[in-house]
Amino acid sequence: MVKINILVVDDDRDIKLLLESYLKKLEVDRIHFTETAAETYEFLNLKDKNNEAKIDLIILDIILEDEDGIAICKKIKSSETYQEIPVIMVTAQKASKFLKRAFEAGAFDFIKKPINKIEFMARINSAIKLRKEMKKRIKREEELLKISAKLKAVNKKLEKIALQDGLTGLANRRLFDKTLKDELNRAKRNKNSLALIMADIDNFKVYNDTYGHQQGDECLKKVASVLAKNAKRASDFSARYGGEEFAVILADTDKDGAVKVAENIREDIRELEIEHQNSNTDKYVTLSLGVSCIKVKREITEELVNSFIEKADQALYQAKEKGKNRVVY
């Protein structure tokens, strides 16, 4: 249910009592009273911009001790919190000049004294209805905003998941392809060298055959975390390239730097001592790595990207040929 709170600004005790008795018959939650402009401003707390409206409808006497109602109305209407709240002016003044000024000040309606009960009830009722609709609309809009914020967050999560390898949590091949192209462009712009490491677990088929696919998955996760740990600069990037193959992109890194990182990864994997009794390299799981490095001088084409990967792949192939568990540049 939408709640309606009303403020009556009037300095006449009899009028206050009369209005209170009328308003109590309407669907109103609370009725507040103020007698002067100063008291009204303080009650509404107009100075605070982040104020939440505590009043839904204002019934405002035009003649008060300290300030006239037209000025009060203008001030209320210029506050962010209360600018949409209906203000109904009440006065004994009959002149149409007053009417004009009241509406120009932003009054929603106008009630003449002496107050006619039927007229008063009808006018207040229509203002209440308007305010209720307004509040419902605001609530709907707020709910829509909340839903849209939630959707955005979900979308962001989905986007992230779409670029992530489900098993290891590393970037997937799709993100690798995009990142490599972006990094090549950046390296060209900044005239930096860029390095790529391709890594492949040795004798992994035999590992699966020996320990089962599930333990194979566990091994892949451990290898991935070593890669992530070693690609530790903000500009480093590690991905699962596919199957038991991984890739690391190192921005602003030359051959020696990249070989060092690759060698660290190789050693860290060996030091995990993941038992692999049927391996032909060691009794533990090992990794072969190929490194390529580039200083881009020409346009980044698909051909250039592919040949960069190819170079790392060739180096990896040589590492396998030479007996695995090693880094080749």
Catalytic residues: 244
CA distances from 159 to 174, 177, 189 (A): 12, 16, 28
By CB atoms closer than 10 A (0-12, 13-18, 19+), residue 23 is buried
The residues, any chain, with a CB within 8 Å of residue 276's CB and separated by 6 or more, are: 203, 206, 207, 210, 282, 283, 284, 285, 286
> Applying CB under 5 A, which part among 84-92, 137-145, 152-160, 192-200 lies near Mg ion?
192-200
CA distances from 145 to 100, 134, 158, 166, 273 (A): 38, 16, 20, 31, 52
* 31 contacts 58 by C-beta, under 8 angstroms: no
| Residue 98 sits in the site that holds Mg ion (CB under 5 A) | no
| Residue 220 sits in the site that holds ligand GH3 (CB under 6 A) | yes
By CB atoms closer than 10 A (0-12, 13-18, 19+), residue 292 is buried
Angle at 54 between CA 50 and CA 57, to 5 degrees: 120
Q: Find the binding residues for ligand GH3 in span 238-267 (CB under 6 A).
A: 243-244
56 binds, among Mg ion, ligand GH3, none (CB under 5 to 8 A by kind): none
Q: Which of 56, 165, 183, 200 binds Mg ion (CB under 5 A)?
A: 200
Instruction: Write out the E strands in 22-100.
Output: 30-34, 57-61, 87-91
Task: Tell the smallest beta-carbon distance from residue 218 to ligand GH3 (Å).
Answer: 8
- Report the residue number, 251 or 289, with the smaller CB distance to Mg ion: 289
213 binds, among ligand GH3, Mg ion, none (CB under 5 to 8 A by kind): ligand GH3
| Residue 200 sits in the site that holds ligand GH3 (CB under 6 A) | yes
User: What's the rounded Cα separation, in Å, for the pair 325 and 199?
Assistant: 10
Q: Which of 216, 254, 282, 314 binds ligand GH3 (CB under 6 A)?
A: 216
- Report the residue number, 245 or 263, with the smaller CB distance to ligand GH3: 245
- Report the residue number, 202 or 313, with the smaller CB distance to ligand GH3: 202
| Residue 313 sits in the site that holds Mg ion (CB under 5 A) | no
| Residue 270 sits in the site that holds ligand GH3 (CB under 6 A) | no
- Report the residue number, 188 or 276, with the smaller CB distance to Mg ion: 276
- Enter the tokens of residue 314: 């060739």
Query: Beta partners for 151?
Result: none
User: What's the rounded Cα separation, in Å, for the pair 191 and 321?
Assistant: 34
* 272 contacts 222 by C-beta, under 8 angstroms: yes
Q: Which of 13, 146, 160, 205 binds ligand GH3 (CB under 6 A)?
A: 205
Cis peptide before 86 (omega within 30 of 0): no
The residue number whose beta carbon is nearest to ligand GH3 equals 216
Task: Tell the smallest beta-carbon distance from residue 185 to ligand GH3 (Å).
Answer: 31
15 binds, among Mg ion, ligand GH3, none (CB under 5 to 8 A by kind): none
| Residue 328 sits in the site that holds ligand GH3 (CB under 6 A) | no
* Contact footprint for ligand GH3 (CB under 6 A): 167, 200-206, 208, 213, 216-217, 220, 243-244, 320, 324
* Contact footprint for Mg ion (CB under 5 A): 11, 61, 63, 200-201, 204, 244-245
